[in-house]
Copies of this chain bind each other. A is one copy, B any other.
Amino acid sequence: MTEAAPATPEQTYSYLGPAGTFTEAALKQVPEAAGKHWRSVNNVGEALADVTTGRSTAAMIAIENSIEGGVSATQDALATVPGLRIVGEYLVPVNFVLVARPGTTLAEVRLINAHPVAYAQSRGWLERHLPDHGYIPAASNVQAAASLFDGSQADAAVAPPGITDHLDVDVLARDIGDNPNAVTRFVLVSRSRALPEPTGADKTSLIVELPDDEPGSLLAMLEQFSTRGVNLSLLESRPIGDALGRYRFVVDLDGHVSDERVADALLGLRRTSPKVIFLGSYPRADQREIEYHSKFDDEIFIEARDWLRGLVSGEPDVD
């Protein structure tokens, strides 16, 4: 995956397991990961620790979903664990099945085990078809189903469709997610400092803290982007955690740091923010080419620098 590390069989990719999770589905989209060692971990912290300690080459982690928004644990980990870089982005359609121990019927279901996010995303279906159900939260989508064989009192579990590859369960209902377009966005994280080449369809991720007690500092941050024609595809606030009302911002922007307009916006941001964490520039999962006004073309920036250099050096200017 990374250019620095040799593509040896020892390469390891960490992901939120066990087998069957949406995270595993994301990792299956990474060509470089095929045939390498895949390490199932229990949470985002563990996945990132694998990367920072060098145990794994990279880790696949969920960063945003269309129902619940940014994944707080991931955002907070990226903000606090140093030395990480996002090197790729992957989208996984999110859908759910309701599964039970073999022989169970839908009418028999009273208690449902589900990961809280999965439960939130299928609550509409559950309330319509099982209005009297009880709910037990699970630590992951796969664990919810696994618990059916593990002494849990639950009668059924909300699980990813691929669960039937791994567990001997009956599918009581398919497509129980409330939003048929639900999708989760994953990122592949490594320690590599080498930037993926710009493709014209790139994304750059940042975490930005704003100066304290400066009214209008968020406004000023947004202007750093808007004045360079840089569009934001994600802007989320996350509490820094030391006091109510102190926030950092998670930002995804259209473009690559090697694009002049993006680089110039980052310079402005760096100058005005007490802390800017650059998480990486990488190809967008949807491969949609970035559109921007031609007045923010690279040549415009280069010409302006040449002009200024001429002024300062004393060369005749050419208007």
A interface with B by C-beta (< 8 Å): 64-69, 72-73, 82-83, 116, 120, 135-139, 151, 153, 179, 181, 183, 185, 193-195, 215-216, 218-220, 222-224, 226-227, 231, 233-239, 241-245, 247, 257-258, 263, 266-268, 270-272, 275-278, 295-296, 300-301, 303-305, 307-308, 311-312, 314-317, 319
Contacts and interface: CB of A to CB of B under 8 A. Distances in A.
Given A116-B137, A242-B181, A268 B227 contact: yes
A248 to B, nearest CB: 10
Nearest to A272: B295
A73 to B, nearest CB: 8
Nearest to A252: B245
B64 A68 contact: no
12 contacts: A181-B242, A183-B244, A185-B244, A219-B226, A227-B227, A235-B237, A263-B312, A266-B304, A270-B303, A271-B301, A276-B319, A277-B319
5 closest cross-chain pairs (CB), A and B: A270-B304, A193-B314, A69-B239, A137-B137, A66-B244
Contacts of A277: 319
B67 A69 contact: no
A212 to B, nearest CB: 13
A285 to B, nearest CB: 10
Contacts of A275: 319
A195 B313 CA distance: 8
Please tell me how many copies of the chain the complex holds. Answer: 4
Contact of A317 (B242, B278, B305): B278
A312 to B, nearest CB: 6
Given A218-B222, A308-B263, A237 B237 contact: yes
Given A137-B137, A223-B223, 14 more contacts: A65-B239, A66-B239, A67-B239, A68-B239, A151-B153, A181-B243, A195-B312, A220-B227, A257-B311, A266-B304, A267-B305, A270-B303, A270-B307, A271-B300
Contacts of A179: 241-242
A235 B236 CA distance: 9
A215 B226 contact: yes
Contact of A72 (B69, B82, B314, B316): B69
B271 A295 contact: yes
Nearest to A230: B215
Given A139-B137, A226-B219, A227-B220, A243 B319 contact: no
A231 B212 CA distance: 13
